[in-house]
Amino acid sequence: MNANQQNEIVECEVIATINDILGRVTSDIQVANGVASETYRVINSEMIDISSDSESDSSSSSESESSDESECKQESSCQTKNKKIPVTKGELTVYDLPPIENLNITLPVEDLDHMGRISSIIDFLVVVQSFKNKPVMNLDSVLFMKNGSPLGHVFDVFGPVVAPLYSIRFNSSQEITERNITIDAPVFYAPNYSSPITDYVFYQQLLAAKGSDASWRHNNEPPSEFVDFSDDEEERMAKMKMRAKRKFGDNHKSYRVPPNTPNSPRQMMNNNISLNSKALNVPHFQM
């Protein structure tokens, strides 16, 4: 072993001893003062301060983490803002409707009848749960608060027939807060007033209305003249009326349906029963 190799071995042992001593001194100072002191390291016979490096590394990492968090928050907020309700072409949502005008009416408290309570508030919609065996309110009927001030027009009716739910639309959720409208607040209606304040739903009109599950352009509901028919006779009569309207225009009243053609399947059934009753010579009671 030559002199250079011996010097290198001695130098390495000295550096290791110095690092050990510095580590012990640093730990003793931290315990005594209760704060982190500067940390040193000996590399190649040079004493280097590594506390600033660690601080810079930690600060840079914290800055990168904070920037990443801010970016994530911004992205999530942007995604929330840009998130839209899936709709078909030409379909309108509740957000596309025009603003609602304020109702400037107030009724005496004795003219009101307790009909339900506010069950929930969703964005700018207030949902009213009605009591059982109360008259069913039609769309655009006015519901009131306990002091006689108007809550708003009925925007939609849904739920069970015996106890339907009503939704009241507002221009914003802030408007609901400003008017002190809260959950479980009692809701009233005016039974002694007629339309447009109070308008009832009549089941006969609902049964007479024709509905359809068919799909039209862009998966929207079909127009009334293109609805499905539940009976071949009704479809035939509707086609005859459409042909008459195309042929005579607005003066389609001049078109006359053949006198022996029944207007509905029930009339056709009654005619058949009547003919059979005459043939059998038995009394006939029309349905």
Residue 287 reports pLDDT greater than 60: no
pLDDT band at 88 (very low <50, low <70, confident <90, very high): confident
Residue range 203-230, pLDDT digits in tens: 777 776 666 666 677 677 777 666 665 5
Report the C-alpha gap between 145 and 160 in whole angstroms: 23
Are the CB atoms for 160 and 128 separated by under 8 Å? no
Q: Which residue from 119, 151, 125, 153 is spatially nearest to 139, judged by alpha carbons?
A: 153
Rounded to the nearest 10 degrees, how much is the dihedral formed by the CA atoms of 188, 191, 192, 194? 110
Q: Which residue from 178, 152, 171 is spatially nearest to 98, judged by alpha carbons?
A: 171
pLDDT band at 237 (very low <50, low <70, confident <90, very high): confident
Q: What pLDDT does residue 1 have?
A: 60
Distances (CA, A) of 226 to 54, 90, 178, 218: 76, 18, 46, 15
Q: DSSP strand E in 123-206: where?
A: 125-130, 142-144, 150-158, 165-169, 186-189
Is pTM beyond 0.85? Reply is no
Question: Position of tokens 């250079």?
Answer: 4
pLDDT band at 60 (very low <50, low <70, confident <90, very high): low
Residue range 107-140, pLDDT digits in tens: 999 999 999 999 999 999 999 999 998 999 999 9
Report the C-alpha gap between 15 and 19 in whole angstroms: 6
CB atoms within 10 A of CB 222: 14
**Structure-token pair, residue 126:** 């207030």
* DSSP code for 123: T
Report the C-alpha gap between 191 and 200 in whole angstroms: 10
Q: Helices 265-280 and 232-248: crossing angle, nearest 10°? A: 120
Distances (CA, A) of 195 to 89, 126, 150, 232, 247: 34, 22, 15, 37, 39
Residue range 19-50, pLDDT digits in tens: 676 677 666 666 566 554 444 454 444 545 54
Facing residues of 205 across strands? none
Query: What is the sign, positive or negative, of the torsion defined by CA atoms of 174, 175, 179, 181?
Result: negative
Rounded to the nearest 10 degrees, how much is the dihedral formed by the CA atoms of 30, 33, 36, 40? -60
* DSSP code for 230: S
User: What is the residue extent of each domain of the chain?
Assistant: 3-49, 96-203, 232-279
CA 26, chain centre distance (Å): 62
- The stretch 225-245 carries a mean pLDDT of 71
Q: What pLDDT does residue 164 have?
A: 94
Give me the phi and psi of 136, to 5 degrees please.
-85, 125
Q: What pLDDT does residue 233 have?
A: 63
Buried b / exposed e over 89-115, threshold 16 CB at 10 Å, is: eeeeeeeeeeeeeeeeeebeeeebeeb
Which CATH code for domain 96-203? 2.40.10.230
**Structure-token pair, residue 60:** 């840079």
Residues 6+ apart with CB under 8 A from 182: 118, 121
Are the CB atoms for 127 and 156 separated by under 8 Å? no
pLDDT band at 79 (very low <50, low <70, confident <90, very high): very low
